[in-house]
Amino acid sequence: MRGHMKLVHALIGKSIAETILVAVLAVSFYLSAFPPSFHGWGEVQPHSIAGWAVNQADPWERLEVQLFIDGKFVTSGTANQSRPDVAAAGWASDEWHGFKFDLSLGPGRHQARVYALHANRRAAQQTLQMVGDPIMFDVAVDGALHPLSDKSF
């Protein structure tokens, strides 16, 4: 019976050790795959989706951004255009973090999402982090984009 108690204690100890291991791995993975240092914003312009994206852990990095319309990948680009307002607001060390995707869509209501691509240290895993919120907009017959407010959809 005494031996049994030692085994029970060993089982509990091993379970605790494994729980800690899995928790540490999960938290490390989350911080590595989805670092809280990514910031950005996207908005509708008359013929494009534009915005900015910054990785504050590496403020000189020009992030790759990907545009998805209605859940489908459309195009990708680099956030390296001038956005002096971003630097002025203290989000980035320099102004070269802007992006702009020119769009030519059929009339109707659409949703755009912009994601920043993040690769971990060995580039073994890549994740997409959404920049800002999903962007709802209407495309008019003449091809112009009109943003919709939250209440419109």
**Residue type at position 33:** A
Closest CA to 110 of 44, 65, 66: 44
| Residue 125 lies near another protein (rule: CB under 8 A) | yes
Q: Based on C-alpha coordinates, what's the Rg of the chain?
A: 22
- Burial level of 86, CB count in 10 A (0-12/13-18/19+)? buried
**Residue type at position 12:** I
Member of 28, 75, 126, 152 binding another protein (CB under 8 A): 28
Which residue carries 């999402």 as its tokens?
113
| Residue 1 lies near another protein (rule: CB under 8 A) | yes
| Minimum CB–partner distance for residue 64 and another protein (Å) | 21
| Residue 29 lies near another protein (rule: CB under 8 A) | yes
- Count residues binding another protein (CB under 8 A): 21
Member of 71, 72, 90, 124 binding another protein (CB under 8 A): 124
Binding site for another protein (CB under 8 A): 1, 3-4, 6-8, 10-11, 14-15, 17-18, 21-22, 25-26, 28-29, 122, 124-125
